[in-house]
Homo-oligomer: A and B are copies of this chain.
Amino acid sequence: MTAIRQSNVNVDLVEALRVREGFRLADVDTRATPGYGKDKAKAAEDLVVGAHEFDELQERLYAQSREDHSKPSVLLVLQAMDTAGKGGIVRHVIGATDPQGIHLKAFKKPTKDELAHDFLWRIEKNVPHPGYIGVFDRSHYEDVLIGRVRELAPPEEIERRYGAINDFERRITDEGTSIVKVMLHISPAEQKERLMQRLERPEKYWKYNPGDIDERLLWPQYMDAYQTVFDRTSTDVAPWYVVPAGRKWYARLAVQHLLLATLERLDPQWPPATFDVEAEKKRLAAT
């Protein structure tokens, strides 16, 4: 007797954000709200409704893998220029569910040890286990983004990586991890405003790094590198979604719906008892 859950997923939104052949990053309006005609106040309400569904689906996903390790996991990959709002997504979207089922990993500048291995080595170690929702705050894509822009590896190595990424993502998908790849997209003007806020508010100083401006000066090169990422790695098994993030409330709602769409497709079920329920009731009653 399974209750039929009503889906809250905005399918138009999910479809509108998907990177398909011919996609041009330069054509994206960072203040747009594709697939969503309502305003900020309504979006806040919708986010709460979605949070409840997200929470239940996450618990089911986790529960069904406890005994059966062939059950799936989900991996959210977050990429963005500085200040685009990755942290807010983790806090407000992922933060709405039980921390016990989340595997969150922020990838920083690689350590010496990490650099001594293939670029996917540290990634592989953080692929979520069955039942978990993994969140990558930055990811293997850094190795073809800053890696490319800053020439941190020879061109032929950068070139090799796109194929290696596709092979890797296909493999972990085959092993049961559904990947949701999101780029949060803002404009240089929006970044300037947000960086300035960090410089104007002492409680934000810690989020500011002078190196942010050095990266900012390479904006066109980064956009080229992102376009190449989309051209080369938006596959059927692991498509990219570009989320306009000029309006934070839209970006949060959009990422939530991308996750909900994935979870609904997986349709996780409460697992059956692995014991004799009536016999256990009697045992318990006798204590």
Complex alpha-carbon distance, A64 and B209, angstroms: 15
Chain B residues with CB under 8 Å of A217's CB are 287
Residue in contact with A287 in the complex, picked from B99, B216, B284, CB distance below 8 Å: B216
Residue in contact with A284 in the complex, picked from B104, B199, B273, CB distance below 8 Å: B199
Chain B residues with CB under 8 Å of A275's CB are 208-210
Is there an interface contact between B196 and A277, defined as CB atoms closer than 8 Å? no
Chain B residues with CB under 8 Å of A216's CB are 287
Chain B residues with CB under 8 Å of A5's CB are none
- Decide yes or no whether A63 CB sits under 8 A from chain B: yes
How many copies of the polypeptide does the oligomer hold?
Answer: 2
Known pairs A102-B99, A199-B277, A199-B284; A272 contacts B205 (CB<8 A): yes
Mask of A70-106 contacts with B, CB within 8 angstroms, 1/0: 0000000000000000010011001101111010101
Complex alpha-carbon distance, A100 and B86, angstroms: 11
Complex alpha-carbon distance, A63 and B281, angstroms: 50
- Decide yes or no whether A47 CB sits under 8 A from chain B: no
Is there an interface contact between A91 and B87, defined as CB atoms closer than 8 Å? no
Is there an interface contact between B102 and A287, defined as CB atoms closer than 8 Å? no
- B-contacting residues, A128-176, CB 8 Å: 137
Complex alpha-carbon distance, A102 and B277, angstroms: 36
Chain B residues with CB under 8 Å of A97's CB are 95
Residue in contact with A195 in the complex, picked from B95, B137, B284, CB distance below 8 Å: B284
Ordered by A's residue number, 12 sampled pairs between the chains whose C-beta atoms are within 8 Å are A63-B203, A64-B206, A67-B206, A90-B99, A94-B99, A95-B95, A196-B284, A200-B281, A202-B272, A205-B271, A210-B283, A213-B287
